[in-house]
Amino acid sequence: MSPVVAGTEPFHLWNIATAMAVAAPCALVGTLLVARRLSLLGDAIAHAVLPGIVIAVLAGGRPGGWLTMIGAVAAAIVTASIATAVASNSVGVGEDAATGVGFTTMFALGVILVSVAASRVDLDTACVLYGELELSAFDTVPVAGLEIPRGFITGCLLFAGVGLALCLTWKEQVLAAFDPAAARALGLPVAGLSVALLVGTALTTVAGFDAVGGVLVVTMLVAPAAAAELLVARLHHVAAVAVAIGMAAGAIGYLAAWRLDTGAAGMIAVVLGAVYAVAALVAPDHGLLARALGAVALRWRVAREDYLAAAWRAAEGGTATVPRGWAAWPVARWLAAEGAVEWTATGWRLTPTGRARAETIVRSHRLWEAWLGRNVDLPLDHLHPPAEWVEHHIGSAVRAILAAEVGDSVADPHGRSIPPEVPPPAGRAR
Amino acid sequence: MIAALVPYNTLIVAAAVAAVGLAAGMVGALAVLRRRALAGDAAAHGSLAGVATAFLATGRRDLGWLLVGGLVTALATLAALVAIRRWTRTRDDAAMALVLGVSFGAGVALVTGITARGLPDSAGLEQFLLGHTAGVTAGDAALLASCALGAAALVALGLKELTLVAFDEAFAAAAGWPVGLVDLGLVGLIAVMVVVGLPAAGAVLVTALLVIPPVAARQWTDRVGTMVLLAGLLGTLSALVGVVGSALVPRLPTGPVVVLAAAALAAVSAVAAPGRGWWSRRAAARRALVAWHEGDLLASLARGDGPPAGADDALRRALADGLVARGAGGFALTATGTARAADLARRREAWARILATAPDDARAFLTVDLPDPAAVIDGARLAEIRAAAERRR
């Protein structure tokens, strides 16, 4: 067994289960927040629910219980209404500043309530800032003879509730997220969906609040979905991947915090940040690595094709020469390995395969020059640079169209002949 | 007399925090106008990790080094934000929430780890989360005050450039101003003020010190210089209330009190400020309604009808202003009233025509006090225009 799991006691496992159970509904709600570009509303709500929670606890509610959820939803709605009122009633500042005023004020109010009433309630500023995931296993209710942590039950119920609500309104949510104008035109209750999202955010925030504290909830909401969006495209895939990322980060973050002897709340956020960073690096198509590799591969192909074309032009006669020097050497060696050039007493020379490939490039180049010369009013010396780039991106279909356009002319605008189309070699598509 | 009641150290700290409030308000005013309010929030959350790292590196609670550490990670957080926007598909709002949460998470993990190990002095670190000025020494206070006053001086020196870039970036760039450099300077000032504000307001709430006083100041004025100054004053006031309030109530962090004080000032401003405030707008709306009723009243009396229903307040005012007199057969226009009724009728006619023919340009006419055309256009030309207008109908 790994040293991480070796000393694990049951309460650690329950804490991990609670972290995962809380992370799942947060990731689901976060998927919609991110898709609808409301991440900062999530942040604002996560801060703003604090006074609602504290007042509910002062009124006899239990942190994470139904009374605090009502308090949180009420506080979220009050904040959202104030924000809407401020936004519609020009106050001469941007929306960002108006939001900044709203949620910091609500959070400050909550902290003051906690500080003043700390002696009377089961809540302190540390709990507000870090949550108390480490203690969640000790707050249990008996279910079918088992002592189950309340946080775990709350998380599971929320996940079921949010999941069910999403399944029932999925089509509408997708439309409202990606084309709100069309959704409105179709008569969908976009405002109602927004309110539902607001309520869902407030409810999951309460669960997350208990686990990781008021400031870090936003990470559990937004980070899984932001990472998932980089990895997959369709919204239901994003939701599934986000839930998986959130749950994994909950477990890994807890274990890492336990190993490093620090708080789980911060470590879960750090793990989520690491997951996002990895996703940004390795995401297919749009990831930084994929794009860098794609750029390198393209440059390498262009370098080889330019070498072949230059060698072909050198053999054609005129001023062109076979490239030499340290930069050309690896290109030539690579092409030799492909069987496109061979080493002779006089230097590198094209093989028949290489000649065929070179003729394709040169044909693309000169067809493009011929087409430009005919259809675009460019001076002769302006034709070469665009063709030098485009030659690498023209396939046989486009060459056929260009050849038909420029007619039977066998010479490019510089008077050099256009080599004929080379039939593709059997079994090898370029 | 005050010095006898309040310890010397508290006075020094209060003075330093007042300076921080002043500079934060001034920097914040430009940040709010340039729509950089959230950058301050990200920098604030990111600074915590640097404070904790600096504590680990130096092994003691030396405010200067802690703030240097905080500044480094605050700037790193902003750089991460720029990198995400530049190189990934993640949209701005998610990037902001992500960077803010993760950088704060790193800070929380460091702080809880340090606290769990019970290192000497480590209890002081938690004060950087919500702010606590009780632990600030006279030396720290001098450091905070000099940083803050330096930032305030930079704002005053660069006010012209910062204003230009905030209001018309394209023009500034076209006129050859170094927009990127000015923006970088502003972001640097924001990061510095966030870090300097940490002891007063804490990482979670220090952004409010930069945002709320400017929002309050904005209600009172349309001039940038006035707004910057006023924001600085309101920031000073909030900071002082915070220091005093948290000193009076045991275990109360400074940050939330500062924020609530600033929010109260903003609320008062939003209600009471002339011009932009709620009360002023309401009064203006009422005045407009009375003026409209007065127009109805005068038009109705000019036609020979009685006063229309619902125009009692307008009637009372018209009587007091001598536009209407109570005659034997009811109410009648005086000579001034007749002239005013004719003038009003002409204006209503002009506006009806503007709204009918060029509704999109109506806004441009709002600033024009339409005079009697006969007074500014010669008779022949006026007749020509009237005929043309008739034909267009």
Q: What is the pLDDT of residues A306-330, one digit of tens each?
A: 999 988 888 877 666 777 777 788 8
pLDDT at A430: 44
Token code pair at residue B44:
């604030």
Question: Taking CB atoms and an 8 Å limit, are B276 and A91 in contact across chains?
Answer: yes
Question: Taking CB atoms and an 8 Å limit, are A273 and B106 in contact across chains?
Answer: yes
Q: How far is B288 from chain A (nearest CA, A)?
A: 18
Nearest CA among A165, A180, A188, A151 for reference residue A65: A151
List phi, psi (to 5°) of B332. Answer: -140, 155
The single-letter code of the amino acid at B306 is: G
Show residues of chain B in contact with A115, CB under 8 Å.
249, 251-253, 256
Question: Taking CB atoms and an 8 Å limit, are A262 and B110 in contact across chains?
Answer: yes
Question: Taking CB atoms and an 8 Å limit, are A111 and B129 in contact across chains?
Answer: no
* Whether residue A360 has pLDDT greater than 50: yes
Give the pLDDT band (50/70/90) at residue A427. low
The partner residues of A411 in beta bridges, in order of sequence, read A417
Nearest to B215 among A93, A109, A216 (CB): A93
Mean pLDDT of B69-95: 93
pLDDT at A142: 81
* Whether residue A28 has pLDDT greater than 90: yes
Show residues of chain B in contact with A92, CB under 8 Å.
218-219, 222, 276
* Whether residue A429 has pLDDT greater than 50: no
Q: How many CB atoms lie within 10 A of CB A163?
A: 15
Mean pLDDT of B221-243: 93
Determine what percent of chain A is predicted with pLDDT higher than 90. 30
Quote the CA–CA distance of A175 and A184 in Å, as a whole number.
9
Q: How far is B31 from chain A (nearest CA, A)?
A: 9
Question: Taking CB atoms and an 8 Å limit, are B204 and A129 in contact across chains?
Answer: yes
* Whether residue B171 has pLDDT greater than 50: yes
Q: How many CB atoms lie within 10 A of CB B19?
A: 24
Check residues B375 and A390 and name the one with the higher pLDDT: A390
Quote the CA–CA distance of A419 and B9 in Å, as a whole number.
90
Give the pLDDT band (50/70/90) at residue B181. very high
Mean pLDDT, chain A, rounded, equals 85
Give the pLDDT band (50/70/90) at residue B238. very high
Q: Taking a C-beta distance cutoff of 8 angstroms, is the pair B338, B362 a contact?
A: no
Question: Taking CB atoms and an 8 Å limit, are B252 and A112 in contact across chains?
Answer: yes
Instruction: Count helices and strands (H / E) in chain B.
Output: 18, 2
Q: Which of A356-370, B84-98, B376-390 has the lowest mean pLDDT?
A: B376-390
Show residues of chain B in contact with A90, CB under 8 Å.
276
Give the pLDDT band (50/70/90) at residue A120. low
B224 contact partners, CB below 8 Å, separation of at least 6: B29, B33, B159, B163, B166
* Whether residue A196 has pLDDT greater than 80: yes
Using the Cβ of B42 and the Cβ atoms of chain A, whether some distance falls under 8 Å is answered with: no
Query: Quick check: helix, strand or coil at residue A64?
Result: coil
Nearest CA among B230, B213, B228, B219 for reference residue B264: B213
B260 → chain A, closest CA residue: A105
Question: Taking CB atoms and an 8 Å limit, are A218 and B215 in contact across chains?
Answer: no
Query: Quick check: helix, strand or coil at residue B129?
Result: helix
Q: How far is A86 from chain B (nearest CA, A)?
A: 10
Nearest to B263 among A34, A101, A230 (CB): A101
Question: Taking CB atoms and an 8 Å limit, are A130 and B108 in contact across chains?
Answer: yes
Show residues of chain A in contact with B56, CB under 8 Å.
none
Check residues B277 and B261 and name the one with the higher pLDDT: B261
Nearest to B112 among A93, A130, A230 (CB): A130
Quote the CA–CA distance of A368 and A386 in Å, as a whole number.
9
B295-298 long-range Cβ contacts below 8 angstroms, 24+ apart: B295/B344, B295/B348, B297/B324, B298/B323, B298/B324, B298/B333, B298/B337, B298/B340, B298/B341, B298/B344
Quote the CA–CA distance of B56 and B244 in Å, as a whole number.
31
pLDDT at A126: 77
Strand segments, DSSP code E, in A29-119 are none
Give the pLDDT band (50/70/90) at residue A271. very high
Quote the CA–CA distance of B166 and B37 in Å, as a whole number.
13
Question: Taking CB atoms and an 8 Å limit, are B204 and A221 in contact across chains?
Answer: no
Using the Cβ of B89 and the Cβ atoms of chain A, whether some distance falls under 8 Å is answered with: yes
Q: Among all chains, which residue has been given the structure tokens 């050497």? A: A329
Question: Taking CB atoms and an 8 Å limit, are B215 and A286 in contact across chains?
Answer: no
Query: Quick check: helix, strand or coil at residue B7?
Result: coil
Mean pLDDT, chain B, rounded, equals 86
Using the Cβ of A98 and the Cβ atoms of chain B, whether some distance falls under 8 Å is answered with: yes
Nearest to A34 among B94, B112, B255 (CB): B94
* Whether residue A133 has pLDDT greater than 90: no
* Whether residue B223 has pLDDT greater than 70: yes
pLDDT at B101: 93
Token code pair at residue B17:
């925090």
Using the Cβ of B87 and the Cβ atoms of chain A, whether some distance falls under 8 Å is answered with: yes
Most confident of A94-103, A386-395, B305-314, B358-367: A386-395
Using the Cβ of A14 and the Cβ atoms of chain B, whether some distance falls under 8 Å is answered with: no
Which residues of chain A from 224 to 243 reach within 8 Å of chain B, CB to CB?
225-226, 229-230
Q: Taking a C-beta distance cutoff of 8 angstroms, is the pair B337, B323 a contact?
A: yes
Mean pLDDT of A345-373: 88
Give the pLDDT band (50/70/90) at residue A135. confident
Q: How far is A36 from chain B (nearest CA, A)?
A: 10
Token code pair at residue A40:
């900062």
* Whether residue B55 has pLDDT greater than 80: yes
Nearest CA among A214, A206, A221 for reference residue A39: A221
Mean pLDDT of B374-378: 68
Using the Cβ of B261 and the Cβ atoms of chain A, whether some distance falls under 8 Å is answered with: no
Question: Taking CB atoms and an 8 Å limit, are B211 and A100 in contact across chains?
Answer: yes
CA atoms within 13 A on the CB side of A120: 13
B185 contact partners, CB below 8 Å, separation of at least 6: B154, B158, B162
Token code pair at residue A167:
């399944």
Quote the CA–CA distance of B90 and A35 in Å, as a whole number.
10
pLDDT at A421: 83
Which residues of chain A from 186 to 225 reach within 8 Å of chain B, CB to CB?
213, 215-216, 218-219, 221-223, 225
Question: Taking CB atoms and an 8 Å limit, are A115 and B249 in contact across chains?
Answer: yes
Quote the CA–CA distance of A63 and A151 in Å, as a whole number.
10
Mean pLDDT of A242-251: 96
pLDDT at A173: 87
Q: How many CB atoms lie within 10 A of CB B136?
A: 24
Q: How far is B110 from chain A (nearest CA, A)?
A: 7
List phi, psi (to 5°) of A339. Answer: 80, 20
* Whether residue B150 has pLDDT greater than 90: yes
Question: Taking CB atoms and an 8 Å limit, are B87 and A288 in contact across chains?
Answer: yes
Using the Cβ of B95 and the Cβ atoms of chain A, whether some distance falls under 8 Å is answered with: yes
Q: How far is CA A342 from CA A51, A159, A373, B16, B212, in A?
A: 78, 65, 36, 78, 74
Using the Cβ of B129 and the Cβ atoms of chain A, whether some distance falls under 8 Å is answered with: yes
Question: Taking CB atoms and an 8 Å limit, are A40 and B107 in contact across chains?
Answer: no
Q: How far is A288 from chain B (nearest CA, A)?
A: 7
pLDDT at A318: 64
Quote the CA–CA distance of B370 and B368 in Å, as a whole number.
6
DSSP state of B59: S
Check residues A326 and B373 and name the one with the higher pLDDT: A326
pLDDT at A1: 35
pLDDT at B1: 47
Token code pair at residue A356:
């065929």
The single-letter code of the amino acid at A203 is: L
pLDDT at B213: 95
pLDDT per residue over A44-97, tens digit each? 888 888 899 888 888 887 777 788 889 988 998 888 877 777 666 666 677 778
Determine what percent of chain B is predicted with pLDDT higher than 90. 43
* Whether residue B279 has pLDDT greater than 80: yes
Question: Taking CB atoms and an 8 Å limit, are A261 and B113 in contact across chains?
Answer: yes
Q: Taking a C-beta distance cutoff of 8 angstroms, is the pair B54, B70 a contact?
A: yes
